[in-house]
Structure 1
Amino acid sequence: MPPKSRREEYADATRQALIGAAGELFVAQGYQQVGIEAIARSARVTRGAFYHHFADKAELFDALIAAMQEDAAARVKAAAESAPKAKRIGAGIRAFLDVCCEPAYRQLVIDTAPAVLGTARCREIEEAHVYGLLIGALTGPAGSSEKARTNAYLAARMIGSMVCEAARLLDGSDDPGALKAEALKVVDSMVGTLAPDKGGKSAARK
């Protein structure tokens, strides 16, 4: 691709500044309490610059959630690829649980996004990133049957939901370490029956 012009670089920087500022404000004050003026001021841009990039606050929030999910997917993929082949699914799931336990992700992606963006849009973003990785890992080799693909999709959605719920329970737990270990055992047992490369051991087991 040809190099970006200075105007394009400035536009990208402005967009990222708005997304970053919005993320910080939403975490600190809550989505409903933050206005467009405050976001623009925090990003050190004009209100007009805001509307050049986003139609409204909800569109900005959509971009923020997509960026957070893209980052989460990169971290999950890196964790999976650094593990032995038989343990990649488990390594990815453990990395995803770590992401879900981060306050900003839990607050914005898990708790706030469904109410602001709707369930359908949240699923679309999830499946373009983290959930898509899990669906691919559980589907098996190319040419898998329609039933295998359907089962992989259902399993990925269920496992992802389990991980998100575990993150909620870990928040404020008296013994988060023990609870996290138990949560991983539950997910491990489920993945062990679904992973395409079955060798007598769970693909998620350490």
Structure 2
Amino acid sequence: MYSEATKAALLDEATALFAERGYARTALEDVAAASQVTRGAVYHHFASKQALFEAVLDRMEQVVMREIAEKATSSDPWEAAMQALDAFLDKCCDPLYGRLVWLEGPAALGWSRWRTCEEKYAYPMVETMIMALVQAGYVADKALQSLIKFSFWMLGGAGLALAEAPDDERRRIRDEWGYLIRKSISGFQVRPAVPRDRQGRADP
């Protein structure tokens, strides 16, 4: 129990320090001092600073993907996908998430490793959403794997744009990316979505 508590504390402090100072300017000694443990205790749980950062990223993505899934409550696949999109864009407006995932992630892990980490969490959710749209007849079963990748990288573009955006511009940019992604996905529709009320019920 003590070991798990120490690991959780290390992840908490590392998250705060990586977000505040950036990966390059954060040392394992800084994390150890903030967590009130020795450097040896850090190495007991994480083999390197990169391994610690990857653990921070993994934990953050698990939480975020769960939150997005919880927001996609509609029984209608199209509406659920739009709810998930809104939840994702809202999360990307969070400076902590934006900096760690979209700015520090590629620098800390390298492009290839960072992309693998993102595909581990976000890609399966995108794939599930697109497959549900196909099965419901909203989207044609055509160039399916490319459509999934296309959608995945559109979301990645939005995430990076929001992470780089000034605070006073972030809401506008969020809405613009939401509009563009909706227009893009709507272009693949083969039947219109059913209008829904605020409770997710089909309007008569």
Per-residue deviation, 1:69: 0.9
Is 1:163 matched with 2:155? no
Is 1:185 matched with 2:179? yes
CA distance in 2, matches of 1:201, 1:55: 50
Percent identity for Structure 1 against Structure 2: 26
Aligned positions, number: 191
Per-residue deviation, 1:181: 2.5
Give TM-score scaled by structure 2 length: 0.81
Is 1:50 matched with 2:50? no
Evaluate the alpha carbon distance shift between residue 123 and residue 97 of structure 1 in structure 2; reply closer, same or farther with a 3 A threshold.
same
CA distance in 2, matches of 1:180, 1:107: 15
CA distance in 1, matches of 2:171, 2:16: 28
CA RMSD of aligned residues (A): 2.7
CA distance in 1, matches of 2:185, 2:80: 11
What is residue 202 of structure 2 aligned with on the other side?
none
1:192/1:201 contact within 8 Å kept: no
What is residue 24 of structure 1 aligned with on the other side?
16
Per-residue deviation, 1:170: 4.3
- Unpaired runs of 5+ residues, structure 1, are 1-8
2:10/2:42 contact within 8 Å kept: yes
The 3-state SS of whatever aligns with 1:129 is: helix
Give TM-score scaled by structure 1 length: 0.81
What is residue 35 of structure 1 aligned with on the other side?
27
Provide, for residues 70-125 of structure 1, a one-character-per-residue CA deviation record: whole Å limited to 9, x for no partner. Answer: 11101111111257543111111111111111111111110011111122222222
2:77/2:129 contact within 8 Å kept: no
CA distance in 1, matches of 2:141, 2:58: 30
Evaluate the alpha carbon distance shift between residue 108 and residue 14 of structure 1 in structure 2; reply closer, same or farther with a 3 A threshold.
same
CA distance in 1, matches of 2:83, 2:158: 13
